[in-house]
Structure 1
């Protein structure tokens, strides 16, 4: 159990961020055991051929059988808008001691692929990660990022409407709990650790490649918790492509407006509030859009979340709504 002691039960002690490098790194877990990430299996299948040309030996050296990755590959985000290029630049400057220590924390040793001159090892690692990003993330990152950003927006709303404790308890039920001034994270790591969170605050990072909760491996890692983002099931849901007749149903302004808004997951209630129309009217339009193959949907708790499908994304962009 890892416990983060906050300086006080203040919203200011808890912050949200998003790290493209963390998403990239955690995706390496699917190299080891893709069956543990059923919501991302469509992505695994779509990128299977692209992965064959990657430096798989270098990438495999960054994750172990427990699915742990070095802390230096899960940096604390500077903001919800962190850029992958900035993270790559920082990673390329990692010093030899931190590089070797991070690998040893995961593997118990430095993997053979990363032995030898430090500069050459880091260059190979960064090159392998860049190739993975270009081949498997660039085509899908806009949609991935939309889900992560929507999660952060949702968590902020929960804090405002239901309080910080409720928000924390909903991050990963059974794995993350709140006790007034502390966040408790149940990890597979058998150690009991207690960390006092100072002025830097506790960073909460949504991810698409975690089924529970993750935290830094090392005791001196930055205070942060990685948790599964909501709305993931809507990200890859395949929809049948229907003919032009059904797309005619989209010519009405309300449906066009809904399609424009659904670049990120949202419920009919949220959409109704944003558009100023009733939830029943929104649901009627959503059903038509979904039948036309322009939307994906997935249940999250008591809500059904909708998101533009790939076909809907193309139509929205080409129509420039």
Structure 2
């Protein structure tokens, strides 16, 4: 079965990327319920499982079962490229109770008693779900978000270059085998059929680590959104920054050598700081030295400055490997 979207030229022109901490949080509920499906996240599961005893996740698990459809109102499509969790959670709190009721009734295989409680009073149910998401975020996810964000950011930067250099054809060709683009229609292999137009409002592309390796779609009444598996998810739970060879460390210093190696993929100061376990200020100072030495260069992408290695930096990093 297939989802088929007809994309007009204005839709193609309005393709945009976004990050969603809320999507990752909700997707991680499935990871908890089926660890074998995503064994790659076992380090995270082992870390947070002892913390679950103090949380009541029954209603969240009912709305987000291990497989199949889950209630869309808990993952509203991001309306900005870099939404923070508080802003996304506010969208959940403002979700239409009527819409949430329809979605809850479409769920199959969930706990009937828990769902019945939600269906009997969706206004109170939406409020409880938002509170549960907030507690789950603070207890099990917030401290890990910078690491997840860094992985998603590197993926988006890489694919943004693909879109700029090769257009939609090159972007969709490398997105996922389940996604195919004909120049007019976007086909997404899903367990159900849907044929619709995007109506000129574009398409939001959201990379995901915790929904990996699957794709997901959202359609009207929501903004059309395609969630795709992020590349490099196997590196997500690696401990610490990449090791710096001794010779490169002796030349640049250990931290600068690690940062130069990490810039194999363009990154922001904040993302590097999270990966290096350094303060943003310290990373900024090291980047300044690398830039002054001609080994790295910053480029503005939207409101952020993204750093990458120069050809000289590439040569130094590769020769030291």
TM-score by length of 2: 0.76
Distance verdict in 2 for CA 1:48–1:87, change over 3 Å: same
Write out aligned runs for 1:251-262 (5 A).
252-253=251-252, 256-260=255-259
Give the superposition deviation at 1:37. Answer: 1.4
Structure 2, unaligned runs of 5 or more = 267-294, 298-307
> Bigger shift: 177-186 or 252-261?
252-261
Give the superposition deviation at 1:183. Answer: 1.2
Corresponding position of 2:269: none
Pairing 1:274–2:275 present: no
Given that 2:242 and 2:258 are in contact with CA atoms closer than 8 Å, whether structure 1 keeps it comes out as: no
Q: Secondary structure at the match of 2:210?
A: coil
Match of 1:186 among 186, 189, 194: 189
Pairing 1:213–2:248 present: no
Distance verdict in 2 for CA 1:228–1:265, change over 3 Å: farther
Q: Secondary structure at the match of 1:107?
A: coil
Given that 1:80 and 1:149 are in contact with CA atoms closer than 8 Å, whether structure 2 keeps it comes out as: no
C-alpha distance after superposition, 1:85-110 (max 9, x if no partner): 11111211222211111212233888
Give the superposition deviation at 1:62. Answer: 1.7
Write the distance in 2 (CA, Å) between the matches of 1:103 and 1:263: 44
Give the superposition deviation at 1:140. Answer: 0.8
Distance verdict in 2 for CA 1:24–1:239, change over 3 Å: closer
C-alpha distance after superposition, 1:193-215 (max 9, x if no partner): 11111221011111112212111
Corresponding position of 1:12: 13
Pairing 1:124–2:128 present: yes
C-alpha distance after superposition, 1:30-62 (max 9, x if no partner): 132121113222211221112222212122112
Given that 2:14 and 2:203 are in contact with CA atoms closer than 8 Å, whether structure 1 keeps it comes out as: yes
Given that 1:30 and 1:37 are in contact with CA atoms closer than 8 Å, whether structure 2 keeps it comes out as: yes
Write out aligned runs for 1:1-321 (5 A).
1-8=2-9, 11-107=12-108, 111-173=115-177, 175-189=178-192, 192-210=193-211, 211-216=213-218, 220-238=221-239, 250=249, 252-253=251-252, 256-260=255-259, 266=265, 274-277=309-312, 279-285=314-320, 287=321
Distance verdict in 2 for CA 1:111–1:154, change over 3 Å: same
Give the superposition deviation at 1:118. Answer: 3.3
- Give the number of aligned pairs: 278
Given that 2:59 and 2:115 are in contact with CA atoms closer than 8 Å, whether structure 1 keeps it comes out as: no
Distance verdict in 2 for CA 1:8–1:90, change over 3 Å: same
Write the distance in 2 (CA, Å) between the matches of 1:145 and 1:223: 22
Write the distance in 2 (CA, Å) between the matches of 1:254 and 1:240: 14
C-alpha distance after superposition, 1:233-279 (max 9, x if no partner): 1110247999xxx9897353275334336677728xx9796234264
CA RMSD of aligned residues (A): 3.1
Structure 1 runs of 4+ with >6 Å offset: 239-242, 246-249, 262-265, 270-273
